[in-house]
Structure 1
């Protein structure tokens, strides 16, 4: 039956479910209960016993509900739970509200939002259907302790008034007192936080603090601007007791296919004399930087982006620890990439900003400006003679203000790591290869490759070039043709509990000598390590500026073992042989790439690598290069890791024997390790360290303590690190951060 716009059902009519399921007219209220009384004279409906009300997205249960049809108000009593359309859950013992749930009054209520924040108050009043005012309220994002519900949460905010506004989706706390572990620690006249529906809200963020001898005590106060759904900004002001006010601003804008960020920071130093004399910091007053980043998906294939930074001096970002700009090396780049099926294109330009406090340091001037480097790779769709054909193109164009030249006074050869002026190279290479499996199971892979290089240079340091055997010709070209074959014979051996694959591998590459060997600038092939990962490479140089020439054979074994108990093994071992022609690794170049590498002789050193994966979450890896005559270890890398739900431990060691003709004239040892342990469900400790065994010093170390739960996170860490170029003394810092869910973060650094 319908009474004054109300659809009523109760337990006496439970056998007629059609009434409850029937579509109700818009705006009708559906009420069910165990007992229903209707007073015609007073136009009052009283429902009691498991009362349920459903109206316009609101759902409510209570022990007893009275509905006054004359005033249009509902009065509910006992174990009330009201679920609002936005997901809020309101718990109370008494509730007086209009029949559209727009206005009302409630005593002793508790509100739980969908993101698990909680509001508790002595009383509350709802007006306009959008705003709820709570008197003597408590706000927290922490769950109530099940074992001791009376115990205060880890953090809470008690306020004289709490106003939850549904229109602007904010929670405003007036006369707020912040409590930690039940103890008041701060008073705020008012505090506004976004509710769970609004992820962004303009207002002040939590402040942070820092300390440094030359800067003094610093307090950072950030303000966040929610400008639009696709645009926002943050402005921060840091007051330093020694240097004045540092202002930082960050603007962010999202587009349908990408985003742009603009950042700026600046300060006028009040007391530059606090810094060491004859440093950039001591010599400057007005300092700052600007940065812009962007990334756009032009279409499903192409991406364009940039990350560009400009600083007023050599050390501003590192001195003031500007977030994202405090590293020794800051890289600006602009790029365009494309990927489609069998095509790949990448174009990038780079500028390297080396931060240093010393004005006479030229590390930045010897860095190249790359304008640009282009890589293109294409694999033909159709096979040629049954094989796969690939095309690889690289263009590198760079310039440098100052050469990076090392003039050694001993018998070691001088090195020119970078030439000043312009240096351009265009490389194109075509490779064909085909995989053939014989009836006997032998896999034969013939290949052929043709490469050509064009060099166009405008180099200035001709004397430096001559001292390392280089040429000062402005235009040069070279080419290389390679014919090769690889043969492997995988042998499968099985037992009742394991399977093993042993694969002997042999390669032969026939080619002429490297043209202009060592006579051209070497920019991208300076880093060279011969190990098991490069054993079977056709060209073992790390970049395009060097080409491996001469006839060479590579021989070795690959092994893979799988065991039923969960163990897995893999290994590679082998050796390389220079058979004819000029050995490129024995040829001097601008940096002596290849010297002391183990490949400079006709018979190379032995290289090997082994990896073990255990079922108990332990992984081991070891690689080494062994002297071909004495079998002494010339290079070794060992690493181990164990991890489970609570503990993660890693350790490693690197040893490199002296390479006086290539880099260091003494042995190098480094031991490193890291660990993290979750002591309880909430508490954890972590740490890491690296130790230079040659110098007997810790190059870097850190240790910290952390706490995490559903509403709060805490971190404190001590960090010590040394400049790899100067191990005389460490820099150290202490950092701490507090994160309160729904409120923000507090950070401190010393």
Structure 2
């Protein structure tokens, strides 16, 4: 080996080419590139015009490496033969193993014996022989294809799945692999015979052709078989057409177009059906009263620049339950939020503007149910900003919120004669513009006490169509008769915190007393204005120290108030952490906003409607990264009776994960809950073996002594195959039980097959 070998190579072997096109591990020559050779010896045969490299031969040309015991190049026929433990490694990482390879010098045509190919994405092809023709097509004789890695301990063991075929044709021009007279084997056992089967080759991520079918079943629809067809129109846009045949309702057609641009993505989905048996559904419902049903939906999201995003999510359909009944992907939620939005995010500010309309996909007839009560939000605007420089040594923040509401039918709870009658949303149009500013600065006293003065101001302008307002509440609130209503609120407050540190050789503890005092006038217009965005309210330790405890801008907390509490955190060297908070709130003077009626009587039975609030507390513990538990509770301020409790616990080990939540809420007749509510939710999963997982969960209604939801499942997952089986049950308040079974099989490189959910 040495200079003589290289000189002989230059004289007898042509300069092979750098490769750019590879099919089945064999690459066609295009551009000339130098060749490097290493071998024990070179043998020249001038009569046959051939050169042979013998013994530990290594070739490197254009990034492709070849190793063999012997390589012979015939100048007369322009063919090269590699013999004995041949291995080729392509620039893309594809590895080819063979006993013998006989190819032309440009690798356009050739013949291979005892071939085995391993692609970079871990797909495997083996064959008794292979013939390459035209530089684009390789035909394997008696080939085997799989995406499963061979067992290292037992290489002869069959993979989990494989396809055996009399002929396998790999077309590099069309980027397809065609199997002829094929059988699909699972754990070495044939389970299906496929006369002809075609799939995209492993180098292709998007390819026109049929996708894996799906199945569905429900009592109303019957058995359904979905056949999807994917069309790769261009590298950045495509179309998927799906035809689903239901035994009871006929054919459902679906089409989804996707287009990715330089700065975003948008989709358009359309579907339709002519129902053959609408009477299979419950009578006088959306599903039974419409024969021809269709929808069109579109989504989009675009980055205008690094700070601004524009997007939309819109659904239009012939009736309000079509997309949910037929489980149209992306549009089957119970509540579909139609919106067009513009969002901007800076270092210290945020802007969001959106137009929204809510569709409740329910089976109730038109004009009934909750869908008819849903509003148009025209628009909703939020702007938040924090000054980049201190103002008077402190932080100054601004908030602006504006919303416009239009609703054809009032959204009401109960009937006017009921004690819990209330109006969640008013008929007609109403709007509000709110501006808010807050300044705060923290001073640290010599003894470690943190003093934070707080100043805040808020101003609203409300615009009302009072001519359309019906009876609205049993709370006694009287809606204003003014078409325009202005209100304002100014707040001055002080927060005092004194974190006290205790430490030992094995732990660190921080005990922090907290006190807040806020002085402000009474809320203007309490109970006289619509309440659209401050309807959700829970008093607990997360809201104890909020300056304004209402969840939205439609209500403003007024009156003088004090919040006091104690926080504790303990960290131990053995991995345990303890944390907790207890506290109480006091109405010091003025009107208590949580006792003042509004259209929903939001503050009633909240624990804040009395001058001295209920006690709230939270205590939790965690151990390293595998255990966490916490309990939150609210107790009556005089009797210490339990009003509300929430408990949660989670555990994570190497193979086992479990969690549980318990919730108790005392009866709230003002909101229509005449009895206490107790509910327990559990979930768990365990991994066994190397690839198996079992999981399950349940929600138990203690008051009604029944499971409202429960389910179990089994999953398998490895590098080439995944399987999920799941069974779920749910029950509504009338004890009607719904069963659902779902399964999904995924074969890597081939596709997915299964059902998202089958009801029976």
Asked if structure 1 preserves the Cα contact closer than 8 Å seen for 2:12 and 2:50, the reply is no
Taking structure 1 as reference, are residues 720 and 472 closer, same or farther at Cα in structure 2, changes over 3 Å only?
Answer: farther
User: Are residues 1:115 and 2:121 paired?
Assistant: yes
- Superimposed CA distance per residue, residues 75-125 of structure 1 (whole angstroms, 9 cap, x where no aligned partner): 222111112233221111111112333321011111111111111111101
Per the alignment, do residues 662 and 552 of structure 1 end up closer, same or farther by CA in structure 2, a change over 3 Å counting?
A: farther
- The change in CA–CA distance for 1:76 and 1:27 in structure 2 (over 3 A counts) is same
Q: Which residue of 1 aligns with 2:177?
A: 171
Query: 1:629/1:137 Cα in 2 relative to 1: closer, same or farther (>3 Å)?
Result: same
Taking the aligned partners of 1:84 and 1:413, their CA distance within structure 2 comes to 75
> In 1, Cα distance between the equivalents of 2:431 and 2:185?
65
Q: Residue 729 of structure 1 aligns with which residue? A: 736
2:497 pairs with 470, 488, 494, which one?
488
Following superposition, the deviation at residue 576 of structure 1 comes to 0.5
Which of 240, 259, 269 is the equivalent residue of 2:265?
259
Contact 1:647–1:675 (8 Å) recurs in 2: yes
Deviation per CA, 1:458-505, whole angstroms, max 9, x where unpaired? 145434148642223211111101000001111111101111111111
The structure-2 alpha-carbon separation of the partners of 1:379 and 1:663, relative to structure 1 and needing over 3 Å to count, comes to farther
* Between 200-209 and 354-363, the greater mean CA deviation after superposition: 354-363
Aligned 8 A contact 2:473 2:599 in 1? no
Q: With the length of structure 1 as denominator, give the TM-score of the two structures.
A: 0.95
* Aligned-pair CA distance for 1:551: 0.3
- The equivalent position to 2:575 in structure 1, one of 559, 566, 569, is 566
Q: Which position in structure 2 is the counterpart of 1:277?
A: 283
Partner of 2:419 in structure 1?
A: 412
Q: Distance in 2 between matches of 1:323 and 1:277?
A: 26
> What are the superposed Cα offsets for residues 268-287 of structure 1, whole Å, 9 maximum, x if unpaired?
11121222222221111110
Match of 1:22 in 2: none
Query: What is the SS of the residue equivalent to 2:607?
Result: coil
Shift of 1:599: 0.6
- Structure 2 SS opposite 1:586: coil
1:196 and 2:168 equivalent? no
Q: Give the aligned partner of residue 677 of structure 2.
A: 668
Contact in 1 for aligned 2:79/2:102 (Cα 8 Å): yes
- Equivalent positions of 1:207-356 (< 5 A) are 207-356=213-362
Give structure 1 stretches of 5+ with no counterpart.
9-24
8 Å CA contact 1:265, 1:288 repeated in 2: yes
Change in CA separation of 1:100 and 1:413 when aligned onto 2, cut-off 3 Å? closer
The answer to whether the aligner puts 1:47 opposite 2:56 as a matched pair is no
Q: Is the 8 A contact 2:412 2:472 kept in 1?
A: no
Q: How far is the alpha carbon of 1:72 from its aligned partner? A: 2.1
Contact 2:423 2:473 in 1 (8 A): no
Pick from 452, 462, 466 the counterpart of residue 455 of structure 1: 462
Does the CA-based 8 Å contact 1:594-1:662 persist in structure 2?
Answer: no
Task: Tell me if 1:531 matches 2:540.
Answer: yes
TM-score of the aligned structures, taking structure 2 as reference length: 0.93
Deviation at 1:727, TM superposition (A): 4.2
The alpha-carbon deviation at position 663 of structure 1 amounts to 4.5
SS of the counterpart of 1:281? helix
Shift of 1:185: 2.7
* Bigger shift: residues 286-295 or 37-46: 37-46
Contact 1:157 1:178 in 2 (8 A): yes
1:520 aligns with 2:525: no
Residue among 469, 473, 476 paired with 2:485? 476
Q: Cα gap change, 1:165/1:463 in structure 2, threshold over 3 Å: closer, same or farther?
A: closer
1:366 pairs with one of 373, 385, 391: 373
Deviating more after overlay: 36-45 vs 613-622: 36-45
Q: 1:121-171 CA deviation, whole Å, 9 max, x = no partner? A: 111011233322111211111112233333322111122221223333322
2:466 and 2:81 mapped to 1: Cα distance? 90
Q: In the alignment, does 2:4 pair up with 1:2? A: no
The alpha-carbon deviation at position 209 of structure 1 amounts to: 1.1
- How much does 1:40 deviate? 2.8
For residue 584 of structure 1, give the secondary structure of its aligned residue in structure 2. Answer: coil
Partner of 2:76: 70
The question of 1:543 aligning with 2:552 is answered yes
- 2:609 equivalent to 1:604: no
When residues 280 and 413 of structure 1 are mapped into structure 2, their CA distance, relative to the original with a 3 A threshold, is closer
Q: Note the alpha carbon deviations across 1:414-466, whole angstroms, 9 max, x for none.
A: 31111110010111111111111111211100011111111001145434148
What residue in structure 1 maps to residue 750 of structure 2? 743
Higher mean Cα deviation, 549-558 or 398-407?
A: 398-407
Deviation at 1:740, TM superposition (A): 0.3
Are the equivalent residues in 2 in contact too, given 1:373–1:396 (CA < 8 A)?
Answer: yes
**Cα RMSD (Å):** 1.8
Q: Check whether the contact 1:405–1:464 (CA below 8 A) recurs between aligned residues.
A: no
CA contact (8 A) 2:8 2:42 kept: no
3-state SS, counterpart of residue 282 of structure 1: helix
Runs of 4+ more than 3 Å apart? 1-8, 25-28, 406-411, 459-463, 465-468
Secondary structure class of the residue paired with 1:464: coil
Shift of 1:410: 7.1
- Aligned to 1:628, the other structure's residue is in SS state coil
Q: Aligned to 1:708, which of 717, 722, 732?
A: 717
Deviations 1:570-600 (A, max 9, x none): 2111110111100000111111111111111
Count of residues in correspondence between the two structures = 732
